Chain A
């Protein structure tokens, strides 16, 4: 779901990915047998931890969800949504900086996990925080700017998640698909802004996330320039 350049797509399709039918090669491919399962486990770990905190709170009188569980869950899921969004935005910079081409093959998975946590974050807001009070939700979306901006971040991600399958790449064409998936940059920027606006006073944490986002964008921006000047 994360934007790629044409050269990325080409890399994925020819050199890096073992030819689909070659099952023996696929079996030996560490990307399939080690890295992807590891990504699944790591991406589900924060959710599993939250699940444990919920169980501990309900059944064992734990206090891990704080005195205000709805707020805790909202912030926890928001934090992880933003982290995974930035992690998926880091894939291309990692490829550029390390030359490890295979890494782009976990990009879709990471992007979809980011979307997954965003959806949980918003579902918690809609279901537990506002308890499906659509009137209050709508009022929040149009009146409270940090929620408006969060909504924009979510809306940008929806078409990307929908078109994340191979079928959709074919249907709309690689070039259009790449263009569409540039929306993730807008979403990332909006998510950082949403976080910054949500915090009161001048707080460092949202600035750190914004700086990481800016750094990741910078690596992307510098790469074509470097290529042009070295050619």
Chain B
């Protein structure tokens, strides 16, 4: 419903009607449509006009493209991935982000890079991604609420980006922050969380090849409700770790605070790795409902990326460091 393509069988009014009549009719229709739209707009103020979809050029395949996707991990529909979102900045119901984020302004967009690095400073979104290669990364996405999807992200290696700022040896953690703008983000007008949204990774987690900054989905520019213009994507952690609409990156020595940890420390640890063995006060994490499926399936250790990331946590008690 976003872009209406004209089918070959669609006949334009101008092809079968004399032009003057056609023009008159068109004027009438235009007026009627305007009046109708006005009425509709006043009667249904919640009817959002969906932002246009834009294709991304130059996206290359990666090790995590469709070819290497397990058979029982079919990609979820665009509709599912863009209409069912937890993005509390735009409201707490799953449909709120799609309804409330359409007018969100993602350009111009700047990211402040600071802390323990040789090249801090403000960088525009364009400059951030220009030197990088856009890669297709199809990842399983596991929400802490025990549902999951498979989403084809378009992103750039987070590690490569971070290295450009030349982090020093004090950079043991990376801290991220979402835009704070209650004007545009109605959810921030209520104290649901300690705004702005804060997240963090250990530096080796951030440098891991699986970690990306996502700027697209389904080969297109990432929709506002999914965290435009740039969000984190760390597929072996619960979804809330993958912070959206990032405006600040900071290298630091101390473990950074995170919003959900501040809200309920017993429920949301700093690591929040997907782990079926560590149950959560709200949800057993042993299984999950894949969106589009009725029955639950077993949750995989590190969301199925155990081979790639388990070594990051060698010797750690994951029950303690949940």
A binds B: yes
Determine how close the nearest CB of chain B comes to the CB of A136; give it in whole angstroms: 6
Q: Looking at the complex, which of B127-135, B204-212, B277-285, B306-314 is the stretch in contact with chain A?
A: B277-285
Given A66-B95, A68-B147, A140-B284, A201-B263 contact (CB < 8 Å): yes
* CA A116 to CA B264, docked complex, whole Å: 34
Say yes or no: is B193 at the interface (Cβ < 8 Å to chain A).
Answer: yes
Write out the residue numbers on chain B whose beta carbons fall within 8 Å of the beta carbon of A70: 289, 294
> Out of A68, A145, A200, A201, which one reaches B94, CB within 8 Å?
A68
Query: Which one of B88, B193, B281 contacts A145 once the chains associate, using CB atoms below 8 Å?
Result: B281
Interface size on B, residues (CB 8 A): 29
> Which chain A residue shows the least CB distance to B80?
A67
B:285-314 near A, CB below 8 Å? 286-287, 289, 291-292, 294-296
Q: Looking at the complex, which one of A136, A145, A201 makes contact with B284 (CB distance below 8 Å)? A: A136
A146-B191 contact given A67-B291, A70-B289, CB 8 Å threshold: no
Residue A175 CB within 8 A of the other chain: no
Contact in complex: A68, B282 (CB < 8 Å): no
A198 nearest in chain B by CB position? B282
Cβ of A63: which chain B residues have Cβ within 8 Å of it? 79, 83
Residues of B within 8 A of A146 (CB): 282
Q: Contact: B84 with A67, CB < 8 Å?
A: yes
Q: Which residues of A (172-213) have their CB < 8 Å from a CB of B? A: 199-204
Q: Could you count the A-B residue pairs with CB atoms below 8 Å apart for me: how many are there?
A: 57
Say whether B291 contacts A201, CB under 8 Å: no
Closest to B279 in A: A143
Name B291's closest neighbour in chain A (CB-CB).
A67
Q: Which residues of A contact B95 (CB under 8 A)?
A: 66
A67 touches B83 (CB 8 A): yes
Q: Is B118 an interface residue when CB atoms closer than 8 A count as contact?
A: no
> CB of A40 within 8 A of chain B?
no
How many angstroms from the CA of A111 to the CA of B297 in the assembled complex? 38
B79 CB to nearest chain A CB (Å): 7
| Chain A residues with CB under 8 A of B124 | none
A128 interface contact, C-beta 8 A? yes
Residues of B within 8 A of A128 (CB): 294
A-B contact sample (9 more), CB < 8 A, given A131-B295, A202-B190, A203-B92: A67-B80, A67-B94, A68-B147, A131-B296, A136-B284, A136-B287, A139-B284, A145-B281, A202-B192
Sample 30 A-B pairs with CB under 8 A, ordered by A number.
A63-B79, A63-B83, A66-B83, A67-B76, A67-B80, A67-B83, A67-B84, A67-B94, A68-B94, A68-B291, A70-B294, A71-B94, A71-B147, A136-B284, A136-B286, A136-B287, A140-B284, A143-B281, A145-B281, A199-B92, A200-B282, A201-B192, A201-B193, A202-B191, A202-B192, A202-B193, A203-B92, A203-B190, A203-B192, A204-B190
